[in-house]
Amino acid sequence: MVKCMEDNQMIDFQKDWKLITVFFSAENLCSSCASTHQDNCSLESMERLTRVLDFLYQKIPKAFVNLVDSTEFRIFSLSHSDQNKISIASRTPCNCVDKDSKLDDIILRWSYQSDLEKLLKSGRYDVRDDFTIVLQPFLQEINLPHRTGWQVHGTSIPKTAEEITEEECSALGVGLWNNMVEPVGQKEHYHYAELLQAQCPSQEYPYLFTYRNSNYSSSSWTSEPEALSEERSYGTSIPCFDRNPSNTVPVSVHNLRPADIKVIGALGDSLTAGNGAGSKPNDVLDVLTQYRGLSWSIGGDENITTVTTLANILREFNPSLQGYSIGKGDQDSSNAFLNQAVAGAHSENVPSQARRLVDLMQNDTRINFQEDWKLITLFIGGNDLCRFCNDPVHFSPDNFTNNIRIALDILHREVPRAFVNLVTVLHIVTLRDIYQEKNVSCPRLIMRQLCPCVLNYDDNSTETKMLESFNRRYQEETYRLVESGRYDTKEDFTVVVQPFLQRVTVPKTEEGMPDSSYFAPDCFHFHQKAHSQAARALWNNMLEPLGNKTDAHFLETAITLKCPSQIESFLRTYRNSNYTYPNQTTPDNHGSQLLCEDRAPSSSSPTSVHALKPADVQVIAALGDSLTAGNGIGAEPNDIVDMNTEYRGLAWSIGGDASLKNVTTLPNILREFNLNLTGYSTGTGGASEPNAFLNQAVPGAVAEKLPDQVRALVRLMKSDPRIDFNTDWKIITVLIGANDLCNYCKDPNYYSAVNFTSRIQEALDILHAEVPRALVNLVEVMDLLPLRQMFLDNQVQCPTHLTGDLCSCVLPVTEGSQELVMVMEATRAYQNSTRKLVESGRYDTQENFTVVLQPFFRNTKIPLLQDGRADISFLAPDCFHLSQKSQSQLSRTLWNTMLQPVGEKMDFFDPKANITLNCPTPHKPFLGTYRNSNYTYPPLEPTNKPIQNWGSDLSCPAQTPSEGVPTSVHKLRPTDIKIVAALGDSLTTAVGAKATSVDDLQTAWRGLSWSIGGDGNLETHTTLPNILKKFNPELFGFSTGTEKETAGFNSAVGGAKANNMSTQARELVELMKGSLKINFKEDWKLITLFIGGNDLCHYCSDKETHSVENYVKHLQDTLDILYRELPRAFVNLVEIIEMAGLRQIERETSGCVIPGTTLCPCFLTPQESSPELQETKIINKDFQIKSMLMANTGRYAQREDFTVVVQPFFRNTIIPLDNNGKPDLSFFSMDCFHFTERGHAEMAIALWNNMLEPVGQKQSYNNFTHDRSKLKCPTPENPFLFTSRNSGLQNTTPAVGAGDPSVPYWAVILAAIAGVLVGSVFVGVLMSRKLKKHQQARNKATEVNLTAL
């Protein structure tokens, strides 16, 4: 820059005044190392900047230098761009392990800026009269105007620096200018809430402001001489004489003395980590140091005479206390021990802290995990409140409480002998007192950045009122959680709320000013002085009875430690305080009474499943979805968040919490017969948790996932030492299908009864083949339709806004709608098909295995109150899952049904019925099976009826054409189509469709062609025109027969490639223009274009001619002709078929009359895994993707009466298999390359269904299963053929001006690309499902979570 100035002839370098702006960033490469390399990082950064400023000072005369702090600007410019990856990668020279935090960044940047201010105010650059440097702070707290984008530090930002608009650049320019004409010390940090007005120099102050002409002296904060280190002791004396433990180790937490505590732990944030607790005054950078040894709840530095902490108090009662932290360091340092608090943590981070704490206690040899009494203090929430205004939903009181609950649940479930202090979040609003007091020296920029939602708003602002509300609700919900009694179910565990910070105020001096000596140098964290007071207050709270705890300590007043008394010697709990939680009612008893006298097992272990008594059962297991996982069983009414909790210990078929006296489940019933039963689940958690044991149900599971659950179950049973896999008798209960029904209307083919039953069969086949000595309860799928009543009754308080998430095909659909009828029929089909599967005798080939159908869900009754309203006490808070009340009834029903003979089993479920547990009788002592019930399965109907033809049935409601002929293609109904046409190759001319000899292979059966054939009618031949004739019998243009003269508007030519398409398009246009039977301008036309197979098959012979670019160009030329010449046209662009499947046909069949290598050499000749084959597969996919991108550029969207829609059903092609797992040649002609009439029918069905699916949601595979009812119907809500616009992916009107569309076609492209990716995965699932009947290996399918749980 200097050289340019010196060399430029237009500049008088010595005489001209120069204005130079230098941007610098305090965000430095060492921020990751903040806590360990503080001084070095700051020093290195300052040295670099100082060298630059020194150079300018030495070299440039007559210069005014603006120094602009662009830290915030740089951070948000990188935070969400690819540059962020570079920034992160560039931090590696610091050799740090991703330990940087918000606190690190804020403190380091402030320290850097503070050092810079000191440098400038030192006068280093003010010795000369013709040079100065002035810090301009206008970017320090930037917030660009009118920007919608990501949120970073509460600021709305652009994606990248390049995207900043001209308007925003102007705003930044004005901000810099205004800073230049503002005195030093009064310069604004502009927030750009609205566009700024440029200020003018005044007559009184006409100059650009410098430090000298601003008469500026350092602020009280920076100029204040560093305070002398005040060596003080924060010790305490213990006035307690009785410091003895209990005579024997107590077994109850309600009889726990302080001296009984052997282990101490803590969870939380920087206030528990001890940030800045030992920092000297004004040493802001040292706030990054975590003084864990001084931490109020767990620090163990020195002893009680010099350092007051809870741990040091307890060490006076038990000098052998373990777990306290000492010295400095983060949570991973060895001296942190059981202080697992993490600086900057929010409530959502506490569960992971709890998990780590448990692991540490279990693995440390100094701790007897089972026997030692533990005291754990949890304090969190300040950071949540400091950030709540950025995302009130994320930091809502409900989510805060849910995070606390998850952490406490872990401790409750896994930690024996524990007393947990849950300290309420402090009254954080009082932080404003010290921030607003100008006479108190505090780094307010740091304070604002650490806690913007508390400090950035006025006292009476909406945000401040909302903060106070959140603060109060955090505290109230904490109480409510504990007072629910959730953590008082075990004798050796409790959680006690300690409220000493609930109404805390900022400590004051004698003069009534906020006393900053209680705070670390950032005026935000606690100094050791405050830590000491917090420790005293917590200790006293622990000894105060519930209902009488102090909740408003004044930290500036002396707090004398209390002592346990002889009468009240225990740490206070609800029980030893004789305290009854407010509004707590006696929980419902969900237990049962079993009056069976004969509970003995068989005299010797039975060898037959048909002679199995309840007491013979030694192992119990379960498979299924959220109903078996136990979602929400124990949730409080209206606690919708708790629906995520899996109460597996209460689950009807597998839970083992408590005993039958309190909890009715199938295992608890069986344990009355056999106390050694194993396999049941307890507590809460996911399927992978140890306490889930053999409950392998997964929330959201569909039938397609059931085989995976079976495999996991078998692995567990084989490997667990508690189970003798070959000898023990097992009961396995299977319930699945609700999620399939909830999604049935979205894809009736995928969720068809045939597919549902095949998945059940696969799962049962695995059990049958691998599990000896097992009785499988197959529970029929639940009839979900009665649950609609819950959401239709306005008097019932159910979360209607969740119906679409819970069960979109049942709960929100209109009464009497087609979707509802479909689900009703599917439910019966599911039930009937599973019954037929069991009654086939398939699982009765071994003496030690059977499957018994339990049909009680066939008819479900909704429980009603006396006034006729639904009784939601039987349901969980989402009104969809079952509460413990219903689960108990379900357990009783299942048990009774298991004892009933086959053929006499209960086929209804009434939750309100008075169900008593039945008993085995001397005459019927066994669990009921088909054989011991003397039941004969009814004969099965023959399944292989000959198929007469490949027609389809279509029973759509009466379809009326548009009131007038539509002028917009986006409002085109099937009834409006008057003309059909097609372009393509031999797959469109239908070569070989009915070939029975080699001579027939050259015949084009155009009348059977999938996209243009019109032979017969839909009932006998499924083609697109035959479907359309159901809507408009006057349809014209379709082909019939095999002769060219009856080809109609089928312009396809056998052997054609993409470069022939423009010729076919011109011929088609001329044919239409010359036809006297159509109105060329007025009639709506449907044209289907399908080409590319021959290009791919010969790609390797001429890669240039058949390149992706040329393929797309030829398609574009063809579409350009149609777009230019044809009025009122809807064009189907069918994606090229995925050709790789042809290799399977060539490899596994021998009946092809023409070698495949002749027909398609480039796909069928290369060796498997060869580079040539991989290249061709990539080209295949590129043909699909790039043709789709071309069609969706908006090139064909400028006319209201024309569109091109990509139909992707061939994107992922599944080769159909026969019963032997070989390619099913009934779909292929004699050359194994072209399609038979059956194949054409499947293509027609897939094309028609694609046309009725929204763009972005189209099925991208073809399901080759014969079903005459696979055709979809237009709906009243969506009566039109789908285009990008009426799918919601474009603007509602076409752009004006050719070639420059204004509509966001990126949305269409994005949706389509997503379709490619999702379709690939989804078809992987379908393909593997077809193959797994014949192969052991199976790729893992994508997770399908259909209940939003």
* Residues involved in catalysis: 270, 384, 525
- 8 A C-beta contact, residue 641 and residue 481: no
Task: For residue 612, count other CB atoms closer than 10 A to its CB.
Answer: 26
Residues 1140-1169 as b/e (b if ≥16 CB within 10 A, e otherwise) read bbbbebbeeeeebeeebeebbbbbbbbeee
SS3 state at 887: helix
Task: For residue 281, give Cα distances in angstroms to 226, 403, 474.
Answer: 7, 36, 32
- 8 A C-beta contact, residue 35 and residue 289: yes
Residue 942: Cβ-neighbour burial (10 angstroms; 0-12, 13-18, 19+) = exposed
For 744, which DSSP code?
G
Nearest to 889 by CA among 868, 866, 871: 871
The residue to which tokens 């037959």 are assigned: 608
Give the C-alpha separation, 1260 to 1270, whole Å: 16
Give the C-alpha separation, 851 to 838, whole Å: 7
Give the C-alpha separation, 645 to 1349, whole Å: 9
DSSP annotation string for 569-624: -SPP-TTTTT---TTPPPPPPB------S-----SS--SSGGG--GGGEEEEEEEE
- 8 A C-beta contact, residue 574 and residue 691: no
Nearest to 646 by CA among 658, 629, 667: 629
SS3 state at 377: strand
Return the biggest CA–CA distance within the chain: 118
Sheet holding 774-779, edge to edge: 617-624, 729-735, 774-779, 849-854
- 8 A C-beta contact, residue 1142 and residue 1096: no
Q: Is the dihedral of CA 24, 27, 29, 35 positive or negative?
A: positive
Give the C-alpha separation, 1259 to 1182, whole Å: 19
Q: Is the dihedral of CA 833, 834, 838, 839 positive or negative?
A: negative
- 8 A C-beta contact, residue 347 and residue 423: no
- 8 A C-beta contact, residue 454 and residue 430: no
Nearest to 1347 by CA among 741, 683, 856: 741
Give the C-alpha separation, 1209 to 1215, whole Å: 13
- 8 A C-beta contact, residue 269 and residue 382: yes
Q: For residue 491, which amino acid is it?
A: E
Q: In 295-411, which ranges are E strands?
A: 373-379
- 8 A C-beta contact, residue 149 and residue 158: yes
The residue to which tokens 């864990």 are assigned: 292
Torsion of CA 1088, 1093, 1098, 1102, to 10 degrees: 40
For 318, which DSSP code?
-
Nearest to 1268 by CA among 1053, 1027, 1008, 989: 1027
Q: For residue 419, which amino acid is it?
A: F
Which H or E run contains 313? Answer: helix 310-315
